[in-house]
Structure formats: structure tokens, C-alpha cells
């Protein structure tokens, strides 16, 4: 079983769509941790949403979606890069007890101070180039509406999402109206605008149906009457981008004093990746090396090969 991202266009209209099934990736995400059912729904829906929105990436890099919560669910992070490598994790508040029917608002926006953050992070940054980050209040009762509102407000893009996830499945459908083009008017002028028509058809899709139906069948059921161009499918998969070097730079950012205090207490530093569980250890020698290699590279490596 491989995951699939299927892009399509409604012919002769300015409406594009995508269907995604990231159920296998979702199983990898859950392999490390047992999340409460209500958290599974939200994190699983965000996973599908990130795969769908990665198509909006205009550069080689990654889209990172985060929800910073003020309730029992503190943090959700989902990443998807241009090659559809994906990873995700969630952090619960200490001793949080989460009932199955807990809503998004109860989980992350109890006091209205929850935040939704989208970061577009280019892989090979030009000098001075920074990741683009948009931070907005959690405006909506579902992951889909929060993202729809974000896309409208920040990107001025009409976007509709249908997301569904449980412990086994994560699937989604996206429709987007391409910017700068109006609807195509039919000769009679009475036909519904293509955007409204596609949204109306997709709105018949129920969450239960999306959970229990493969995306090929969903496509047929919803749009069998439409003239649709289907593109080559792509295949998202789980891949964590953590490395020993990145963990090392994180320790460097903590500062030498902090690291030395921790070493005195524990003898060595053990760090587990939140996304994949990879275990990293830094003993006193490793840590010392982190802070001596501050010297400019030129002093360590000859600038050019010497002549013999």
C-alpha cells in the first residue's frame, strides 16, 4: 500500500482539485505514540491538509503547519516538503485526560489564545532569505475551516477542504479557485459558475464516506458528470529529516553553560526525536566539540590545495 496525492483540473475552468490518501504515512506517525481519539482526528486531518497544501509551494522546501494550543493539547506539528516527505507529532499537556468527543476548540482554543502557524521554509536559502511565517488566531471549529479562513485571508485564495481521519485512515479533498480568473459563463448564462458547482458537488461528501472510501471511488462518485483532467499521481511518505548535526546545533543554541550544567547532572545528554523516535546521545567529548568548532572554517581547512 502506498499513499497517493491525485491532482486534477476541471477542464475549461479556473478550478483545480486534489485528493489525497496518506493513511500509510499516518500509521508511521502513530507507530511511536498512542494518541487519544480526538487528537488522532485533528493530527490526521492536518497530515492530509499539509499534503494537499504542499502543491501551493512555489519553491524547493517545506510547508510546516502548527497549532499552538491553550488547552489539553499544547502543540501539533505537521511538515511536508516538495518531495512529499512527511512527518508529524503532537504534544499533550501534562496529565491531560481527553475524551473522545472533545472538540477542536476545547482541545486547543479554550481561552481563544490558540494560534495557527504556517511556515514556508525554502530548502536552499539565499543569503538573507528567511522562512515565510503566517500566524493567525484559530478561526474555525475544524481543521478544514481554520485552513480555509487562513488561505482566504493570507493568500486571497478561495480554497475548500474536506478532511477525515481516525486511527487507520487520513484522507482529504481540496478545491481551489485559481487567482485572477473569473468563472466561465455558459452560452445561456444560467449555468452555475464552475467554482460553485464543484463546491456543491464536493459538499455532498460526508466524513464517514471519506473515511470508508478510497479516493479513486470518491472522485468517480462526486465528479462523474464533470470533464476532468487527471495528472500523474504522486506518492507522499513518512520521512524524518532529523540528523545528529541538527540536534547538535540545537544544543549549541542552548549555550555552553546550559549544556555543561546538564552534563554535570546526567553524565551525557540523551535526546529522542519527537517525530521518529531516533535516539541521539552526546557525551562530554561530543559536547565539547560542539563549542570548539565555532572557529571559522578557513582556519581549519586550507583555502586552496598547496602546490608540490
Residues that bind Zn ion (CB under 5 A): 240, 242, 273, 275-276, 278
Nearest Cα residue to 80 out of 53, 41, 110: 53
Beta carbon of residue 282, minimum distance to Zn ion (angstroms, whole number): 16
Closer residue to Zn ion (CB): 164 or 273: 273
Closer residue to Zn ion (CB): 150 or 275: 275
Closer residue to Zn ion (CB): 269 or 276: 276
CA–CA gap between residue 78 and residue 90 (Å, rounded): 9
Beta carbon of residue 276, minimum distance to Zn ion (angstroms, whole number): 3
Ramachandran angles phi, psi of 66, nearest 5°: -130, 145
Cβ(21)–Cβ(168) below 8 Å: no
Closer residue to Zn ion (CB): 89 or 102: 89
Nearest Cα residue to 65 out of 50, 55, 52, 54: 50
CA–CA gap between residue 122 and residue 288 (Å, rounded): 31
Beta carbon of residue 176, minimum distance to Zn ion (angstroms, whole number): 31
Beta carbon of residue 275, minimum distance to Zn ion (angstroms, whole number): 4
Beta carbon of residue 304, minimum distance to Zn ion (angstroms, whole number): 37
Beta carbon of residue 228, minimum distance to Zn ion (angstroms, whole number): 38
Nearest Cα residue to 253 out of 290, 220, 286, 227: 290
Closer residue to Zn ion (CB): 108 or 269: 269
Closer residue to Zn ion (CB): 73 or 242: 242
Nearest Cα residue to 193 out of 177, 204, 210: 177
Closer residue to Zn ion (CB): 56 or 241: 241
- The beta-strand segments (E) located in the chain are 4-10, 15-21, 61-68, 73-81, 85-92, 115-122, 132-137, 159-165, 170-177, 228-230, 237-238, 269-272, 279-282
Beta carbon of residue 58, minimum distance to Zn ion (angstroms, whole number): 27
Lookup result for grid cell 476541471: 10
CA–CA gap between residue 20 and residue 86 (Å, rounded): 13
CA–CA gap between residue 252 and residue 263 (Å, rounded): 14
Amino acid at each position: 500500500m502506498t499513499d497517493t496525492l491525485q491532482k486534477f483540473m476541471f477542464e475549461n475552468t479556473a478550478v483545480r482539485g486534489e485528493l489525497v490518501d496518506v493513511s500509510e504515512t499516518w500509521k508511521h506517525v502513530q507507530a511511536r505514540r498512542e494518541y487519544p481519539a480526538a487528537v488522532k482526528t485533528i493530527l490526521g486531518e492536518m497530515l492530509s491538509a499539509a499534503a494537499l497544501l504542499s502543491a501551493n509551494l512555489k519553491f524547493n522546501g517545506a510547508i510546516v503547519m502548527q497549532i499552538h494550543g491553550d488547552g489539553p493539547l499544547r502543540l501539533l506539528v505537521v511538515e511536508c516538503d516538495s518531495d512529499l516527505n512527511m512527518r508529524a507529532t503532537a504534544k499533550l499537556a501534562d496529565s491531560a485526560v481527553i475524551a473522545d468527543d472533545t472538540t477542536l476548540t476545547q482541545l486547543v482554543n479554550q481561552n481563544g489564545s490558540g494560534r495557527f502557524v504556517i511556515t514556508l521554509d525554502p530548502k536552499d536559502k539565499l543569503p538573507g532569505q528567511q522562512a515565510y511565517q503566517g500566524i493567525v488566531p484559530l478561526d474555525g471549529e475544524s481543521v478544514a475551516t481554520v485552513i480555509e479562513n487562513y488561505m482566504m485571508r493570507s493568500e486571497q485564495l478561495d480554497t475548500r477542504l474536506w478532511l477525515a481521519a481516525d486511527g487507520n485512515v487520513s484522507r482529504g479533498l481540496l478545491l481551489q479557485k485559481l487567482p485572477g480568473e473569473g468563472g466561465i459563463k455558459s452560452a445561456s448564462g444560467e449555468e452555475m459558475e464552475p467554482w460553485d458547482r464543484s463546491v456543491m458537488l464536493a459538499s455532498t461528501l460526508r466524513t464517514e464516506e471519506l473515511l470508508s472510501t478510497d479516493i479513486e471511488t470518491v472522485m468517480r462518485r462526486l465528479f462523474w458528470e464533470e470533464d476532468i483532467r487527471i495528472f500523474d499521481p504522486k506518492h507522499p511518505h513518512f520521512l524524518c529529516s532529523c540528523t545528529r548535526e541538527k540536534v547538535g546545533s540545537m544544543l549549541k543554541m542552548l549555550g555552553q553553560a546550559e549544556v555543561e550544567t546538564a552534563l554535570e547532572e546526567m553524565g551525557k545528554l540523551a535526546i529522542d526525536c519527537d517525530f521518529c523516535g531516533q535516539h541521539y546521545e552526546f557525551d562530554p567529548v561530543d559536547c565539547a566539540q560542539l563549542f570548539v568548532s565555532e572557529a571559522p572554517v578557513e582556519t581549519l581547512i586550507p583555502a586552496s590545495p598547496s602546490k608540490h
